[in-house]
Every structure is written in C-alpha cells, then in structure tokens.
C-alpha cells in the first residue's frame, strides 16, 4: 500500500514547521516549529492577530519591547501545538553585537517564562556571524539552547559545532538561488543541488567527529531538496511543501544516516581563520549579508505595523 511522503519522512527525520501559521501547524502536526522576522510579519498581518497585536503595541514601553512581546506571544501559542522546540529569533540588527544578543536572548527566555513556557522548549535563533556564535556559546553555558541561522558555509557550521550550539540551520534554497544566478543553464536537480551538498557535508562532518549539534536543513525551494535530505536530523519545511509531501505517494529512500564518530574533532577555528574562510566564500558572504538585510527589512515593516496599531 502506497504511503504519503510526509508520513515516511517523519519516520526518519524530525519534521519542523517553518511558519507562525497556527492552522498550518495544527494540520501537519510537526514536532517543532521555527519562526523568523519574515514569518512573524506574515502572521502579524492576518486578521486573527490584529486586535491582540494592537493591545500589545499600546501596552509596550518601546518598539523593541513590542517586537519581542509579539514574537513571544506567537511563540507561546505555537508551543501549545507542538511537543518540541519553538525557535524565536533575536533581532537581526544585533548580528554583530555579542553583548546585545546575550541581553536580548535572556530577555526572550524571561518573557517565555512569564507565559509559562520553560527554557527547555525554546531555541533562541541567532545569525551565524562570529559575534552571534560567541553569544551562542555563552547562552549554551547558561542553559539557554540556541539555533544558529543564516548558515551558508561549512566554516560557519564548524564554528557553531565547536561552540556547542544545540542546532544549526543550513539554508538549502538560498544557496541554490546564488548558484542558479551564477550558472542559469546548469543542472542543479537532486544530488547536484549545492544546498543539498552543503547540508550533507555538514551532517557527515558532525556525525564523523561526534558533535552533538543537531543539523536542521532549512529554506527549501522544492520537494526534491527535501527528498534528497531524508534522514537528516531535522528539516524545517514551509506549509506549502508540507502539503506537497502529504499529497505525494511513493517510496522515500533514506539518504542520510548517522554513523559512529570516526575521528576526534579538528582544532577549533579562531576568529581570524573564521573571518578569512568566510571572506573566501563569495556565496556565503553575500547570502549572509543579504539575509541579515532582509530580516531587518521585515522587522522594520513589523515595527511600522505595530506603530500604526498603537494609534488605533
């Protein structure tokens, strides 16, 4: 009897919903959920949230207070629908400020606690800059779990694992976007997809050296990328692609499998090595900078929306 691809994927990979849409989460029953400024903005624009967000905006001390209140409000409701983690992002504006990232992360955890959501349920999302990775190292030492996002290179992944972060989110689709722009006629389907190749390299490195950091592929452009990464620790998937998987039947082959650690980890990268390697990777440098700008742009739109609602 044929089975849908989504149920087969759930048997080998922890499926995570990449959305703040509560109805989609209820429909697809993922284990975890992730959000980012763009997804929070999408949720905030819906009629469902308008009156509640207006109330939050009117009772906030400033715009940063309002932004974090909105993120935690949505995240708290999401936490009631999933048994696992809810990822909530620190402001992209703080991507190059370790101390400010630490302060904002601690504040988010405190806000969740006031909603009755413990730190064991939350992943604080931080951009995988050098400063963000340093902040994540300290947060993990304090018992605050982290999800390092906007990750486009093996160098970023190595530094995250060395820092002991809970989870990394290598971006598959945005890597593909960059290569397609460089070589429009090239065949990037299936295993030729550079985003898929990046996740596989990171996964094999982590498992081969005994790192405990979870690999969660993110930012998918098509179902083929997901199929090519079946077996990865976690995959965070949009509602549209979750729907495609649920409606597609056939045999899903496991493509990634954990293995016992073969060798001890290499020496950790220092700051100079990290920055040089990232600089040498044009794709990763460009997509990291672009990602921070895009998240910040959506944050500004959310700020404007909250400013309008504050006056209602």
- The Cβ of residue 211 has, within 10 Å, a number of other Cβ atoms equal to 21
Q: Provide the mean pLDDT of the chain.
A: 94
Active site residue 125: yes
Residues of the chain short of pLDDT 70, as ranges, are 1-2, 261
The predicted model scores a pTM of 0.94
Q: Which fold has domain 5-310?
A: TIM Barrel (3.20.20)
Q: Which of 125, 200, 207, 287 is catalytic?
A: 125
What was the pLDDT predicted at 206? 95
Helix (H, G, I), strand (E, B) or coil at 145: coil
- CA 246-19-238 angle, 5° bins: 40
pLDDT tens digits for range 83-129:
999 999 999 999 999 999 999 999 999 999 999 999 999 999 999 99
List the domain boundaries for the chain.
5-310
- One DSSP character per residue, 91-140 reads PGGGTT-HHHHHHHHHHHHHHHHHTT--GGGEEEEEE-SHHHHHHHHHHH
Please give the structure tokens belonging to residue 176: 């593909």
């Amino acid at each position: 009897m044929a089975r849908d691809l989504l149920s087969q994927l759930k048997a080998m990979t922890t499926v995570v919903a990449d959305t703040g849409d509560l109805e989609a989460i209820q429909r697809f029953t993922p284990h975890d959920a992730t959000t980012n400024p763009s997804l929070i903005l999408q949720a905030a624009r819906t009629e469902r949230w308008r009156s509640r967000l207006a109330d939050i905006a009117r009772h906030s001390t400033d715009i940063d207070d309002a932004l974090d209140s909105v993120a935690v409000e949505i995240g708290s409701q999401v936490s009631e629908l999933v048994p696992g983690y809810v990822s909530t992002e620190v402001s992209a504006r703080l991507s190059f400020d370790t101390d400010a990232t630490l302060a904002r992360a601690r504040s988010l955890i405190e806000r969740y606690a006031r909603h009755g959501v413990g730190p064991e349920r939350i992943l604080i999302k931080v951009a995988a800059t050098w400063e963000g990775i340093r902040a994540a190292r300290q947060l993990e030492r304090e018992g605050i779990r982290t999800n390092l996002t906007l990750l486009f290179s093996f160098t970023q992944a190595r530094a995250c694992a060395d820092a002991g972060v809970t989870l990394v989110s290598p971006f598959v689709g945005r890597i593909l976007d960059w290569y397609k722009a460089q070589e429009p006629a090239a065949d990037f389907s299936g295993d030729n997809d550079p985003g898929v190749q990046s996740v596989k390299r990171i996964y094999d490195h982590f498992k081969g050296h005994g790192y405990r950091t979870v690999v969660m592929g993110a930012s998918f452009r098509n179902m083929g990328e997901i199929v090519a990464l079946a077996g990865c620790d976690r995959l965070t998937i949009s509602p549209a692609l979750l729907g495609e998987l649920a409606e597609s039947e056939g045999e899903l082959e496991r493509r990634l499998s954990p293995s016992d650690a073969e060798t001890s980890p290499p020496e950790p990268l220092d700051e100079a090595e990290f920055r040089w390697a990232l600089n040498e990777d044009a794709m990763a440098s460009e997509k990291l900078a672009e990602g921070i700008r895009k998240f910040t742009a959506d944050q500004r739109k959310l700020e404007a929306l909250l400013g309008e609602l504050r006056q209602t």
